[in-house]
Amino acid sequence: MTELFDPTSRQRRIERFPLQKKQFNVSAIQGHSILTHDGGIDGFLTNVSLLPEQSMGVVVMMGTARFPAQGITERLWQHILNLPLTDTVKTWTDRIDAMSVQNQQNFPDPAVITISNLADYVGKFCNPVYGAVSISAPTQDQLHISMRVINADIQPSAADQFFVPGE
pLDDT digits (tens, 9 = 90+) for 115-163: 557 788 888 988 777 788 899 988 877 788 888 778 888 877 766 777 7
Q: Can you say whether the dihedral through the CA atoms of 148, 41, 88, 73 is positive or negative?
A: positive
pLDDT-based confidence at 80, cuts 50/70/90? very high
Chain-wide mean pLDDT for the chain? 76
Percent of the chain with pLDDT over 70: 73
Q: Can you say whether the dihedral through the CA atoms of 158, 159, 161, 162 is positive or negative?
A: positive
More confident residue, 106 or 70: 70
More confident residue, 167 or 131: 131
Predicted TM-score of the model (pTM): 0.50
- The per-residue pLDDT for 32 is 87
CB 10 within 8 A of CB 19: no
H or E segment to which residue 105 belongs: helix 88-106
